[in-house]
Structure 1
């Protein structure tokens, strides 16, 4: 016999539990198709045949966590889908198979970020700002949530950080949708406007150079001292100087060949006489691949932050980053009359408008420009010639 009742709170609360291993089913008289299964718990579900005659049983939720009104509204939605020829059960099964944000991030790390020069950066960004959504299905992450997160991070942690988080999320979804085809939904980060970022223009000024070189001379750790000096003398990126290999240096041609830069292209760096002096002094007596060997997994120096802070502290210089040494060389090249094309060539700047010009340049004008700029910096810093640079490198080795 079919148990038909009008679902009310008092009616459902009064239903007795059946014997162990048994179940009772009740039908709502107000919304056809809505049923209540009573075992040790009470569960709303819909049992209806689709247009092709196949039975559909869709569990809605447990009572009283799901109210009677919520169950009725959900039932009407399910019946509407069935009337349109859709399968709510298939949709629910698909939703259960849908990947979470954690799943997508793992895909991102395996397919793309693992090949980055610094895979630790997206890992840190995700852990700090996006992992809170890690267990959520991709379809549950909405545009307005991402926009709100972007604004909150911009206010609390800085606009640059907020833009980095937004870019990571945007790229993850874009790859999943357009390239990997593992997600067919929308990108919730699409259309959110990044905060404007002001380009940093900090570099060592004329009045700071004497203090900077004096502090560099006083630095007892030769590895840190030479690393900082070569960063300034070559204008190369931080990661490239840290991983510099002896096999990439040609003393005869006074060149350093970087196999792959941030731009994804190789670069030949001209080595000034001062840079050659530093490298000659560092030549290892034992077998060592790296110019700045380290004890970590990479085999080279990883983090010179503490030594850098010591140098700045003694010099009384604030708001100067290691990357600003790269900008310092370029700025002093400009001061000594180098063209933007020459500066771009020496620093391996990637610019679509000038890439073809760079390709036609030989290294002679670049070398002249770098040497001239370094000479000017040395003079401004109180070091009159290359021999004075040796005063920096001839400190007791550590």
Structure 2
């Protein structure tokens, strides 16, 4: 609302018509990209749907009789955006890893070192970026080596195990922060939002172009390449298995998933081309200011 609909925030919803929707959708697509335009309009559509269900007139009828965003569907105006299928390929992971570690050498700010750990955490857990960014220290058990997510995309809680690599990373991270969030940010939210500058730096140093969600796809791709059980993989990345009757009879607890998680971690370390005993490099600890 504050970015592409800033001038509409004080406008009555009844005054937003179909033609306005079409023009704004086209404008966003030109300036910010077609995928962003579709995403913006899906948000606005949900807002209108909520208002239509929530607010009634004196006769009990919805004040908003129609959703103007549906005009994009009726006129087939939605942009066709193919789903991304990009991953970091195995032969690219070594240079990518070295570029990520180079962020820890930043003498100007400790935020770059934090982003380096965040990127590795995403790759080694397969979490969605928001899920990882909002993890708090209270959600992590470093003794029994697992953590818990309650606010997930599909609203189902997730309790994945912590591998040796990630456990070591988190212990080092905990010594460098006093925030309630594992990956603290500088903004009002308190957690890391969008580390564009550091991602761009890694891309420049490694010549590997990637998005944060590519790290999740890479985790899944590596897991499939070493024949991790489909049930274990779906549980690790918190994909629903509602259409699979067999899955309903399989109980996946933390310890049963630990072996699969360690296998994925070991494969990633092999791609990094580093020795197991050198998997975590030590850098000076910068205290938050």
Tell me the TM-score normalized by structure 2: 0.81
Q: For residues 290-310 of structure 1, give each alpha carbon's deviation from its aligned partner in whole angstroms, at most 9, with x where no partner exists.
A: 323344333333442222221
Question: Whole-Å Cα distance in 1 between the matches of residues 64 and 208 of structure 2?
Answer: 52
SS at match of 2:148: strand
| Contact 2:175–2:285, Cα closer than 8 Å, also in 1 | no
**Partner of 1:215 in structure 2?**
99
1:275 to partner: Cα distance: 0.6
336-345 or 140-149: bigger deviation: 140-149
**Partner of 1:190 in structure 2?**
70
Q: Alpha carbons of 1:261 and 1:136: their partners in 2 closer, same or farther (altered >3 Å)?
A: closer
> Computing the radius of gyration over CA atoms, which structure comes out larger, 1 or 2?
1
Structure 1: gaps of 5 or more residues: 1-121
**Partner of 1:179 in structure 2?**
54
**Partner of 1:33 in structure 2?**
none
Question: Whole-Å Cα distance in 2 between the matches of residues 311 and 209 of structure 1?
Answer: 12
**Partner of 2:181 in structure 1?**
290
Structure 2: gaps of 5 or more residues: 57-61, 106-111
1:372 aligns with 2:252: no
1:126 aligns with 2:1: no
Q: Alpha carbons of 1:136 and 1:218: their partners in 2 closer, same or farther (altered >3 Å)?
A: closer
| Contact 1:216–1:311, Cα closer than 8 Å, also in 2 | yes
1:396 aligns with 2:287: no
1:174 to partner: Cα distance: 1.7
Structural RMSD (CA): 2.7
| Contact 2:88–2:208, Cα closer than 8 Å, also in 1 | no
**Partner of 2:109 in structure 1?**
none
**Partner of 1:353 in structure 2?**
243
1:373 to partner: Cα distance: 1.7
| Contact 1:139–1:185, Cα closer than 8 Å, also in 2 | no
Higher-strand-fraction structure: 1
Q: Alpha carbons of 1:169 and 1:295: their partners in 2 closer, same or farther (altered >3 Å)?
A: closer
1:166 aligns with 2:41: yes
> What does 1:36-75 correspond to in 2, within 5 Å?
none
- Structure number with the bigger relative contact order (C-alpha 8 A, sep ≥ 6) is 2
> What does 1:1-398 correspond to in 2, within 5 Å?
122-127=1-6, 131=7, 137-154=12-29, 157-181=32-56, 183-193=63-73, 194-219=78-103, 220=105, 221-284=112-175, 287-318=178-209, 320-350=210-240, 352-354=242-244, 357=247, 360-385=251-276, 387-391=277-281, 394-398=282-286
Aligned length: 269
1:148 to partner: Cα distance: 4.5
Question: Whole-Å Cα distance in 1 between the matches of residues 262 and 279 of structure 2?
Answer: 14
1:225 to partner: Cα distance: 1.9
1:333 to partner: Cα distance: 0.4
Tell me the TM-score normalized by structure 1: 0.60
